Amino acid sequence: MKKFLMAITVALSLVGCGNQQKPAAEKSSPRHSTKSLVLYYSQTHTTEKVAKLLAEAVSADLDSIVPVEPYNGTFEETVERCKNEMERDEKPQLIKSLNVDVAEYDTVYFGYPIWCGVAARPAEAWFMRFDLRGKTVIPFCTFGSGGLETSVAVLRKMASSVNILDGYGIRSARIDKAAEEIDEFLIRNGIKEGEVAPEVPFGDKRELNDEEKGIFDAACGDYPFPLGTPVKVSSRVAKNGMEYCFVTDSKDAKGNPAQAEVYVIVSNEAGVGPEFTKVVR
């Protein structure tokens, strides 16, 4: 457990929540027609669900990455194998041939679970092998707590000349929200026609009050891995309620003090409690 905790905190914090705002896209018309592929790795089928939703939403072809030596152990065994491979900096394991020819596609939606803070080994192995220059890569991932931002930063380092969008990520515990969120993601990125409310920027970071402390505890109390102690918060009006960005005092992979950002949604809907949506380390 300790080893796993160290591994999942390996990621660095890359995105700040104070005043971050993507350009509002109230209306969008689809880009010119391009040939799209949704390519993914999924060990326990969560990322596969997102892949299928995306493929249907953008009428893309669908294929999966299959390692020659499958990761078919338990969660703990997979964590152990993943960590060992990362520590030894082992060459990525072999991937079976795809059913599609990637060269034929302009846009590749590239999906993976987060493993030890970054894209799962088989997905990374595929990414390292293929020349994606001239294509648009749209990463998507599923995770226990977070990892989209860090994993995308790693992909960009590995392929600096490839156009890699910010991508979409969702906690596996919230997978039932994926269809709605994907729709919004596609509209905001000008991929699908439609309208979404402009995103309101987060306010300034400030001290938490007791109510906000209660919101953090209600959203994160059940999460089995430590998310740190909230020390600051900022908030903004969200689609159906309020969104909070808690800055927490946490620890990095080496056990040194570090800060993380934990995002929580509080819905206006009756009977829906505060929901932790992601952590950015």
Residue whose structure tokens are 């995306």: 54
- Nearest alpha-carbon partner for 119 in 86, 161, 87: 86
Q: Note whether 146 binds ligand FMN by CB under 6 A.
A: yes
Contact map string, positions 162 to 191, toward ligand FMN, x by CB under 6 A: ----------x-------------------
Q: Note whether 78 binds ligand FMN by CB under 6 A.
A: yes
On the 0-12 / 13-18 / 19+ scale of CB atoms within 10 A, 256 is exposed
Distance CA 63, CA 35 (A): 14
How big is the site for ligand FMN, counted in residues (CB under 6 A)? 24
Q: Note whether 234 binds ligand FMN by CB under 6 A.
A: no
The three-state (H, E, C) secondary structure of 228-269, written as one string: CEEEEEEEEEECCEEEEEEEEEEECCCCCEEEEEEEEEEECC
Contact map string, positions 109 to 128, toward ligand FMN, x by CB under 6 A: ----xxxxx-----------
Which C-beta is closer to ligand FMN: that of 44 or that of 268?
44
Which C-beta is closer to ligand FMN: that of 11 or that of 191?
11
The residues near 248 (Cβ < 8 Å, ≥ 6 apart) are 227, 228, 229, 230, 231, 259, 260, 261, 262
Contact map string, positions 29 to 68, toward ligand FMN, x by CB under 6 A: -------------xxxxxxx--------------------
Distance CA 249, CA 232 (A): 9
Q: Note whether 277 binds ligand FMN by CB under 6 A.
A: no
Among 143, 202, 244, 263, binds ligand FMN (CB under 6 A): 143
What DSSP state is assigned to residue 33? P
Return the range that interacts with ligand FMN (CB under 6 A); candidates 142-150, 209-217, 250-258, 261-269. 142-150
Q: Supply the minimum distance, in Å, between the C-beta of residue 227 and ligand FMN.
A: 11
- CA max distance for the chain: 56
Distance CA 9, CA 248 (A): 13
Which C-beta is closer to ligand FMN: that of 143 or that of 263?
143
Q: Which residues bind ligand FMN (CB under 6 A)?
A: 8, 42-48, 75, 78-79, 82, 113-117, 142-147, 172
